[in-house]
Structure formats: C-alpha cells, structure tokens
Amino acid sequence: MSLASSDIKKQLRAEALARRNALDPVLRAEVALQLGHANDLLRIEPGTIVSGFWPMRSELDLRPLMFRLIDSGMRVCLPAILDKTTIVFRELKRGAPLVDMGFGTRGPDGNAALLEPSVMLIPLAAFDARGHRIGYGAGYYDRAIARLHADGHSPRLVAVGFDCQEVPRVPEAAHDVQLHQLLSDTGLRSFPLAARPPAYAPINAFHAS
C-alpha cells in the first residue's frame, strides 16, 4: 500500500470514529439490546462456532447477542492477543472468569478452549458500500483470517458497527479481505460482490421470525 493510501485510511478512520463517538450513549445502549435478537437475521445454526468481541470505547456492544447465542446452543469465542501480531479465539462461557485483554477489553483466560470460528463478528473503524473495512491499524484480524484460510477454513465475515461509520471508499491492499455482511444499527447488509449494490435487511426484521 502506498503512503498516500495509508494516510487516506488514517484520515477516514479518525473521521468515522469521531462520528461514532458522538452518538448518544443511550442510543448505543438501545441498539445493543435490539441486536440481542439479531440472529433472526443472521440465522446462525446451533453448534456453530462464532467469534465476537468485548466492546471497548464507543463500539457497538455485542454482549446481549453473544450471550443469547450461547443460550441458543452456539459456541462463542473472543479474541485474545498473544503478541504484537497474533490473536487466537478463546471460548466464552457464562460464569467463567474474564481477564484484561488490553485496550479496555476483557476475555476468557488461558484455561479456556481455543476455537476456530466459522462465523466471525468483527469490529471496525470504518467501511464502504463494497464491503471493504478499515480496522484500528494493528492488522490482527487480517492475519487471523489469513491463518484460518491457510488452514482450510472459510469463515463468514460479518462486520459490526454503526451506519455513521460508512465512508465513500476504502483504499484496499492486496491482503485485504472483503466482508460478507455488515450488522449495524439499521439491520443486516450483505456484500455478495463488489460490483453489485449491497442487499439489505432492515432492523425491523429482527422480530420477524
């Protein structure tokens, strides 16, 4: 990636995060509760291994959804940072101890089972209408997804964020992976192909089934 593209990503990240930070905290809490029912749209089957994330700062809070998934028979895991380049996914269980994971997040300790997710709920700083994502700059998820692909896995990639984090266009590099879907405050958006407009299921479909 050229320096110009890196600078563009940095600017887009800062602007999108500023918009997210400006959202009313009450609105963010209401959206988190609504997303507790998001499997009505995601339609993840019991027994599926799903990676989520413990919210930091103004991120969309997935905890209501993650615990509902656990109660519905899915195995949920959270990222754990091993070093400056690597994350693994440890199983989240009700009542199990959580430890500081850095950056203001928490997760299962080293006694938790290591899992390989087939559905990944991924945090982001920004995204565009083609399904390209800007993360926080450390590249943990890019490397984790590449490792899963190398091991023969093809996880479903569902980014999670607010619509206000959308940007006109994300500069992409050769290693970037296009998202399959985005779960946001207004629903579930699918990105089947970069050349097509995204399919969309609105948030009022959460209770449709």
The C-alpha angle 142, 63, 153, rounded to 5 degrees, equals: 35
Residue 73 counted as an annotated binding residue: no
Q: Is the Cβ–Cβ distance between 57 and 104 less than 8 Å?
A: yes
Q: Is the Cβ–Cβ distance between 198 and 129 less than 8 Å?
A: yes
Residue 181 counted as an annotated binding residue: no
Residue 11 counted as an annotated binding residue: yes
Residue 93 counted as an annotated binding residue: no
Residue 60 counted as an annotated binding residue: no
Residue 146 counted as an annotated binding residue: no
Residue 94 counted as an annotated binding residue: no
Residue 13 counted as an annotated binding residue: yes
* CA dihedral angle for residue 6, residue 148, residue 41, residue 165, rounded to 10 degrees: -10
* CA dihedral angle for residue 112, residue 115, residue 117, residue 121, rounded to 10 degrees: 20
Residue 12 counted as an annotated binding residue: yes
Residue 139 counted as an annotated binding residue: yes
Residue 84 counted as an annotated binding residue: no
Binding-site members for ATP are: 9-13, 133-141
Binding-site members for substrate are: 59
Binding-site members are: 9-13, 59, 133-141
